[in-house]
Structure 1
Amino acid sequence: MSAAPPPVRLYCFPHAGATSAVYRPWKNLAGPSLEIVGVDQPGRGTRMREQRTDDYRALVTAMAEHVADDLRRAREREPRLLYATFGHSFGAMLSLAVGAEVARAVGRTPVRAILSAALPPGLQPPDGTDALTDEELLAKIVADGGTPPELLSNSAMSQYLVRLMREDYVIRRQYPRHADLRVGHPLTLIAAREDAYVTPDQMARWAGHSSARSRCVEIAGGHFAALQEPKDIIAIVGEDLPE
C-alpha cells in the first residue's frame, strides 16, 4: 500500500475590504489532506488588536512572519506538511509576495501559488478611488457584488467596509513598485470569463512572475466567481497539489 500524500496547508488571502472569514466555508469543502487557513492583515479580523500599517512592504513582512510562525507550529505536529498560497483579487499580489518571504524564512518554498481575478502589478491602472465620496465607494462595493447584502444594509457595517476598502486601496497603489517580484514555484492562474476587471489574457501575464511552469484555468462567472463557487476552486487546487 502506497503512503498517503503529505498534507498541504493552504494559506488564503482575501480580497479588498474583506477578512479571512470569507474562507470559513472552504474548510468544510476541503478533504483531509488540505488544510484551509485564512490570513488576515494586522489590525483586521483575527488580528484586530495588532497595529495596522499602510506600507506595502511592511505589511508583507508582518504577514509573512505570521504565516511562517503558524507553519512552524503546524510542522511540529506534522513534519511532512507542505504549504501553498491562494489569493483572490487584492489578495493575489499579497499572497505571492508573502509566500516568497515565508520561503526565505522557513527554508522551503510553497508547492504552488494559486492566484485568482487579479491584475499583475505591471498592469495596475491609476487608482481614482480617493476622489470618490463614501456613498460613491459604497455604490461601487454594491455593484461589484462581492459583499453579502445583509452587511451592506447595516449602516455601521457599510461604513466599516468603506474604511477597509480605502485602507486596501492605499496598499494596492503600491503594488507597481513590486513589479519585479519573481518566485521559483509554479503558479495556477484562475480567470473568470465574465470578469469585468481582469481578462483571462491579463491573468496569464502572472506567469512572468515565476521561473516555474504556470497553469491557466478559465471558469464561468464574474469577478467573484472563485468565492461564489469554492467547491470548484478547491477541485482545481487539488489537481495541482502533490500526490
Structure 2
Amino acid sequence: MALTKSHAGLWLRGFHPAPQAPARLVCFPHAGGSASFFFPVSKTLSPELEVLAVQYPGRQDRRHEPAAENIGELADRITEQLRPLPDKPVAFFGHSMGAVVAFEVARRLEGGGVSPLVLFASGRRAPSAVREESMHTAGDADFVAEIKRLSGTDTRMLGDDEVLRMILPSLRSDYRAIETYRCAPGASVRCPIDVLIGNADPHVTQTEAASWREHTTGRCDIRVYAGGHFYLNDHAVAVTDRIARRISALRAAV
C-alpha cells in the first residue's frame, strides 16, 4: 500500500515510495527543519526501507498553518498519523528537536502496544538532561546569529529579508517548543535507543548523551562522530549505513 495524502494528510512525506520494503523508517526534523532535509536519506535507503519524513506545520507548503509550540501536542498529532499506516516494523530517526519528538511519539505508540524496532536519537541530549535556555525570546539579530552558528539552515535564506520574515515565526515556535519541554518523571520506552552525536556539538555533551540510558528499558548505544550539531551532514554515508545495519540486525533477531 503506497503512502498517499488521503491517509497521511500533510504530515508524512515519502520521496521514494517503497511499499514492499520489509520495514519503515520515520524521520523527525530538527527545529526549523522540514521533511525535505531527509530526501538524501530516503534516496540512499530506499527501496530496502520505506522512508517517511515528518513535515511539521508552519514551514514550506504548510507555512500558513501555525507552528506547534508544545512538544507533547506535536507528538500527539504525529502519533495520530502513524497509527493507521499499514503494519510493518518501524524505526525512528530524530535529529535535535526531532529526537525528542520521536521519543514522545514512541512512548505514545508503545502505550498502544506498538514498539519501534529502535529509536535513533541524533544531536540531542537526553530528555531528562535539562538546560535552562531561552533563545526563543531573543531579538531577531541574536536569534538569527544562533541559527547561523549551528549551520542547520541555509545561510543564504537567512540573508534574504523576505525569506527571513517567512521562516522566523516557525523557527521561533520550534525553539519555544523544545526549550520549554520537560519530560515526565521516569519517562522511558521499551525499544533500544541509538544515540548519535558530534564531538563538538555545543548543545549536547557526551555525559548528557549517555543519560539517554535512563530512558529505555532496552539497550542504549552511543556513537560519537567528529563535528558539531550537524555532524551528520559530513558523515551521511556512515550514518545511513549504521541505520540500515541496525534495522536489519533487529529484524533478524525478532
Which 5+ residue runs of structure 2 have no aligned equivalent?
1-20
Correspondence 1:165 to 2:171: yes
Correspondence 1:190 to 2:189: no
Corresponding residue to 2:72 among 46, 57, 68: 57
* Matches for 1:45-194 after TM superposition, within 5 Å: 45=60, 47-48=62-63, 52-69=67-84, 71-72=85-86, 75=87, 81-105=88-112, 107-194=113-200
C-alpha separation in 2, matches of 1:102 and 1:46: 27
Query: Contact conserved, 1:65 with 1:102, CA < 8 A, in 2?
Result: no
C-alpha separation in 1, matches of 2:100 and 2:26: 13
Indicate the RMSD between aligned Cα atoms, in angstroms: 2.2
Q: Which moved more, 1:145-154 or 1:133-142?
A: 145-154
The Cα offsets for residues 61-85 of structure 1, whole Å up to 9 and x where unpaired, read as 111111223x23xx3xxxxx21010
C-alpha separation in 2, matches of 1:165 and 1:124: 20
User: Aligned with 1:123: secondary structure?
Assistant: coil
Q: What's the offset of the Cα at 1:156? A: 1.9
Q: What's the offset of the Cα at 1:179? A: 4.7
Query: Contact conserved, 2:67 with 2:174, CA < 8 A, in 1?
Result: no
C-alpha separation in 2, matches of 1:95 and 1:204: 17
C-alpha separation in 1, matches of 2:233 and 2:109: 25
Q: Structure 1-normalised TM-score?
A: 0.85
Q: What's the offset of the Cα at 1:33? A: 2.0
Q: Which amino acid aligns with 1:35?
A: E
**Deviating runs (4+, > 6 A) in structure 1?**
none
Query: Contact conserved, 2:123 with 2:204, CA < 8 A, in 1?
Result: yes
Q: Structure 2-normalised TM-score?
A: 0.82
Q: What's the offset of the Cα at 1:49? A: 6.1
C-alpha separation in 2, matches of 1:82 and 1:32: 15
Query: Contact conserved, 1:17 with 1:168, CA < 8 A, in 2?
Result: yes
Q: Which amino acid aligns with 1:114?
A: F
Q: What's the offset of the Cα at 1:225? A: 0.8
Which 5+ residue runs of structure 1 have no aligned equivalent?
1-5, 76-80
C-alpha separation in 1, matches of 2:171 and 2:185: 22
